[in-house]
Amino acid sequence: MKQLRPYPQAVITKKGARFLEAGNVWVYDAEVLEMRPAPLDGREAQNGDLVDVVDEKGGYLGTGLLSQQSKIRVRIVSRNANDRFDEAFWERKIRWAWDYRQTVMGRASLPGCAPDTDCCRAVFSEADGFPGLVVDRYGDVLVTESLTVGMERLRPVLFPLLARIVGENGTPVRGIFERNDARIREKEGLPLYKGWYDLEGLPTPESARLVVAENGVRYNIDVENSQKTGFFLDQKYNRRAVARLAQGRRVLDCFTHVGTFALNCAVAGAEFVHGVDISATAVDCCRHNAELNGVADRTRFTCANVFDLLTGLDGDRDAMREAGGPFDLIVLDPPAFTKNRKTVHEATRGYRQINYRAMRMLPRGGYLATCSCSHFMDDQLFRDVIREAAHDAGVQLRQVEARQQAPDHPIVWGIPETSYLKFLIFQVV
């Protein structure tokens, strides 16, 4: 006799079933035909509960977390009907995620530097089987985002496990800071807040400001008030790749944020680096970080709109000299110009404009590092935009490298949303 299961059921369409069978982990609200009570005890599903997803014939497709207010109605966490979703289950998943980082990042640190797992993403949402949960490690502090009601409810189980497992073979974790202030939480019916999570047995840290090291470069970051979790870890190895080209060059780093590309270039021996960001707070942080790394004498940071700055520098020799140019290495690391399919066309104009201006400013033999962090700007579209910009600028590009996000932000085939960062390095020939 088939054993009755203790979870309510979401019955989905054939289209939804095919979507899951192709490797994705989302069930959209439009694909849910009906919600059924748990076969074992008749329990109705509550928001954030585990539910079994079944096809129209009752065939098991997986178990996921229910979000009653979201268009993504169920997010799969397991496809194994034998799994028991107790603390041991979640511990296995956390260990699996952390062991992966230790394998792919642990031996990648530069000579004389701390292991790359001292500053990395420990959990990457759906890519690690924790839908809506992001965990970044900065030394002895974990910074988290819980973006779904299911992960929000699981925090008392997950967070002590995370602190223990991540801190087992290295620096003990002294605190977990929650950055639950992203407005996407409102789609889940969740409140916005940020602050230290109360970890039993540990005192609350006094400050949310941290000094982290990556690629041998030190940064003073504010995990409470900076963007996202305070630092963009996905560009770690892309920063290293650009730094290899920087020695003896004059560098313009656009959308510099806390100065990551700029400082990697300066520490690598660039003659001069000019970083630009529209945020005055970010620029102040850049200047402090330059002092921290002993490169303040070879760097300048300006608070300005990058679009306006590039337009003003293009073709104006006096303005170029005043800015510290001419530049022979330009880095374009903009924020996502589009976060949905409806605005992709507008985004292409933005990417085309900044790349066109940068290409016109570079001499023959100069280098351009350019990227897009939007999932909706797919790889082919981004390449087409760069190709059009090069044609309009009257230059030819020689590709040096095509890169993506660091492996602590894994790409899972079947989940296209996990592949988002496109990073291209060219020489103007």
Domain ranges of the chain: 9-78, 87-210, 232-428
Confidence of residue 115 (pLDDT cuts 50, 70, 90): confident
Fold classified for 87-210: Transcription Regulator spoIIAA (3.30.750)
pLDDT of residue 227: 78
pLDDT tens column, 391-422: 999 999 999 999 999 999 999 999 999 999 99
Quick check: 350 and 334 in contact, CB under 8 A?
A: yes
- pLDDT surpasses 70 at 2: no
Determine the average pLDDT of the residues in 301-317.
93
DSSP 355-395: HHHHHHHSPTT-EEEEEE--TTS-HHHHHHHHHHHHHHHT-
Comparing CA positions, the residue from 268, 185, 257 lying closest to residue 221 is 257
Q: How far is CA 289 from CA 221, 232, 286, 398, in A?
A: 9, 15, 5, 33
pLDDT tens column, 232-260: 999 999 999 999 999 999 999 999 999 99
pLDDT of residue 113: 78
Indicate the residue type of 61: L
Quick check: 239 and 246 in contact, CB under 8 A?
A: no
- pLDDT surpasses 90 at 368: yes
- Measured between alpha carbons, how far is 57 from 54 in angstroms, rounded to an integer? 8
119 is catalytic: no
Coil vs helix vs strand at 13:
coil
As its CATH architecture, domain 9-78 has Roll (2.30)
State the distance between the two ends of the chain, measured CA to CA, in whole angstroms. 72
Fold classified for 232-428: Rossmann fold (3.40.50)
pTM: 0.93
Determine the average pLDDT of the residues in 280-284.
92
Q: State the catalytic residue, choosing from 119, 265, 285, 373.
A: 373
Strands, sheet with 141-146, edge to edge from the N-terminal-most edge strand: 119-124, 133-138, 141-146, 175-180, 193-196
- pLDDT surpasses 90 at 109: no
pLDDT tens column, 211-229: 999 999 999 988 998 877 8
Determine the average pLDDT of the residues in 325-337.
92
Strands 32-36 and 60-66: unpaired
pLDDT of residue 1: 39
Determine the average pLDDT of the residues in 303-323.
94
The angle at the Cα of 263, spanning 260 to 269, to the nearest 5 degrees, equals 145
- pLDDT surpasses 60 at 355: yes
Determine the average pLDDT of the residues in 172-182.
95
